[in-house]
Structure 1
Amino acid sequence: MHPSQDNTGTERAATSGEPMKHHQVAVIRRLPHPGRGFTQGLSTDGTNVWESTGLYGHSTLRRYRLGATEPDWIGPLDPTYFGEGICRIGTHLWQLTWREHRALRWSVSNHTLVDTVPLDRDGWGICHTGTHVITSDGTSELILRDPHTLRPLRTLPVTYAGDPLPCLNDLEWAGGRIWANLYGTAYLVGINPHDGTTTDLVDARTLHTHEPANPETWMNGIAAHPTGGFLLTGKHWTRIYHIRLTPDHNRIHPRHYTDMSTLCLGSQLETHASTTSTEIGTL
């Protein structure tokens, strides 16, 4: 018996005992992606969007109103920094850098760089749970941190069907779950914050098909919208999509592969028909 199944064939969320939920995305709104940047992180309050863009010599933090066609402010990073994930905590915003092991703290109100602090790992994604900050570094481990200093507090190994789940990239917190882009794919996962088991798998490939065919245009950038659903975009994408999750009846079935690293970098996934998905209408 596969570790993600019970003896009736019902999928389980690895060891947590929760039924695994499989989702597709339904588009609520299609919005411009101002500047079409190399998106590494996204955050919104429902009216304004903050976006982190990457690439050495081109990394920025930028702000724009949701629905605008151009940013209303762009803050360039030092050319030695490669911008990564962002999250807002009160009046400040954290922005990670990739291999520089530095995190930048920005003032939201006046767009000034307030502080730079050391980081013990590569920076990929970051989110705020209300009590902790959580960061990713492209591996199967998430790090819970002090939200004010980013001091590491504990490591959360993430698993899918009992196996380590690599390629965790941009992060968001919504509905009591950590949501993560899987690097190099058009998939998201929902993660139990207590034991690291994968509870949700989201197939967003329908969004990617509307964007330019380019090796760099992977989906990246996820932000929970205050009215429900998520904002999703990608590197150099033409649009930001406000989406909600709906049941996926042609869901991916984990028993068809054993190495979840095959998810990364665009590998195709096998599908298996099912009708047991559950819609998350409140995220």
Structure 2
Amino acid sequence: MRKLIFTPLLAIALCGCSNTPASSVDTGPQRLRPEIVRVLPHDVTAFTEGLEFAGNTLFEGTGLERKSVVQAGPAGEAPTVKAALSPEIFGEGITVLGPKLWQLTWRNGYAIERDAATLAELRRVPYQGEGWGLCHQRDRLVMSNGSDTLTFRDPVTFAVTGTVRVGHTQLNELECVGDDVYINVWQTDRILRFNLPSARVTGEIDASGLLTAGERTAADVLNGIAAVPGSDRFVLTGKLWPKMFEVRFVPNP
């Protein structure tokens, strides 16, 4: 009878095990959901395109021609400053860098630089293609245009400095937090957490169920992500939503 010689390699083959540490196995993006901390009122006429905190002030940019505005004030309260856009402009994403605010336009072909305190328009800078979402990461702007690619731009000149592919299309509203970008996927209740250094989606957030069935009938899609400074919380809202939700992102079983 032929004898079976038991070697370490044969043992691995028979048991189906390996020397690969469990921590190195790629389990895919972390599955998360929003845990509601508190509910705040939201202007039901606001077609939200951009949402961002600067200190305790919540800035919001809205869309639609003849209805686009940019406004700012304490979260959940009436804005203390507001600027209407020209009737032909469809406003899009916004981001605040110190004394300046950048605001995208959808198909008008330029970004608007504003004074962050007064929201007065300072200048317009042209760019190619559509503008959707905008945030800033240290010394650069991060912009979406509805494709699967994020574009990096110089915060002063607005010139393109690089790109990165995310692997998902319909990338819309953006929120930069450290090395991560939180991305609202248009026409869905899904938010991606995309890590810029690794160019990988590290989290997927299911934000469905925030509104009741009745509230959803008059509302449009989820679109609005603002990180609350100095905390682990975010404020979420959507186009024509009656509410904003302060949330934490927790594991979704």
- Distance in 2 separating the partners of 1:195 and 1:86: 25
2:70 aligned residue (57, 61, 82): 61
- 1:124 paired with 2:132, answer yes
Match of 2:12 in 1: none
**Superposed, which structure 2 residues align to 1:44-83 within 5 Å?**
44-68=53-77, 70-83=78-91
- Distance in 1 separating the partners of 2:187 and 2:113: 27
- Distance in 2 separating the partners of 1:211 and 1:246: 26
With structure 2 as the length reference, what TM-score do the two structures score? Answer: 0.85
* Residues 43 and 49, structure 1, Cα contact 8 Å, conserved in 2: yes
With structure 1 as the length reference, what TM-score do the two structures score? Answer: 0.77
- Distance in 2 separating the partners of 1:28 and 1:210: 20
Match of 1:228 in 2: 232
- Distance in 2 separating the partners of 1:45 and 1:124: 20
Shift of 1:175: 4.1
Measured against aligned partners, the alpha-carbon deviations of 1:244-271 in whole angstroms (never above 9, x if no partner) come to: 011011xxxxxxxxxxxxxxxxxxxxxx
Q: Which has the higher strand share?
A: 2
Greater Rg over alpha carbons, structure: 2
For the residue of structure 1 that corresponds to 2:244, the secondary structure is strand
- Distance in 1 separating the partners of 2:150 and 2:189: 20
Match of 2:191 in 1: 188
Letter of the aligned partner of 2:204 in structure 1?
L
RMSD between aligned alpha carbons?
A: 2.3
- Distance in 2 separating the partners of 1:243 and 1:27: 4
**Superposed, which structure 2 residues align to 1:220-259 within 5 Å?**
220-226=223-229, 227-249=231-253
1:39 aligned residue (35, 42, 48): 48
**Superposed, which structure 2 residues align to 1:167-182 within 5 Å?**
167-182=170-185
Residues 142 and 77 of structure 1: is their aligned pair in 2 closer, same or farther, counting only changes over 3 Å? same
Match of 2:4 in 1: none
- Distance in 2 separating the partners of 1:168 and 1:117: 22
Shift of 1:195: 4.2
Shift of 1:19: 4.6
- Distance in 1 separating the partners of 2:226 and 2:162: 24
- Distance in 2 separating the partners of 1:110 and 1:35: 24
Measured against aligned partners, the alpha-carbon deviations of 1:121-159 in whole angstroms (never above 9, x if no partner) come to: 210000100121010001101001111111011111112
Match of 2:152 in 1: 144
Letter of the aligned partner of 1:150 in structure 2?
F
Measured against aligned partners, the alpha-carbon deviations of 1:25-54 in whole angstroms (never above 9, x if no partner) come to: 101111111354000000113522111010
- Distance in 1 separating the partners of 2:161 and 2:116: 26
Unaligned runs of 5+ in 2: 1-17
Letter of the aligned partner of 1:205 in structure 2?
S
Percent of pairs identical after alignment?
Answer: 33
List structure 1 segments (4+ residues) > 3 angstroms apart after TM superposition.
208-211
Q: Which moved more, 1:179-188 or 1:189-198?
A: 189-198
